[in-house]
Amino acid sequence: PMNGKKQVGLVGDLTIKASEYGANSWENFKAVLGDEVTIEIVVEANAG
């Protein structure tokens, strides 16, 4: 890394069905996003 410090990072994703969380009750939700929604999580951290 350019700052010379140790770094760690991770990436994860998961797919949920919006209907399992009550989101299908929102008007036109499925038309905009669909029932399956993918969530991506990215974390980066520096030491010190």
Could you tell me the pTM of the whole model? 0.56
29 burial level (CB within 10 Å; 0-12, 13-18, 19+):
middle
Half-sphere exposure of 48 (CA within 13 A, CB side): 4
What string of pLDDT tens digits covers the 48 residues of the chain? Answer: 577 888 899 999 999 988 787 766 667 666 667 788 899 999 999 887
Instruction: Supply 11's token pair.
Output: 């990436």
pLDDT for residue 25: 61
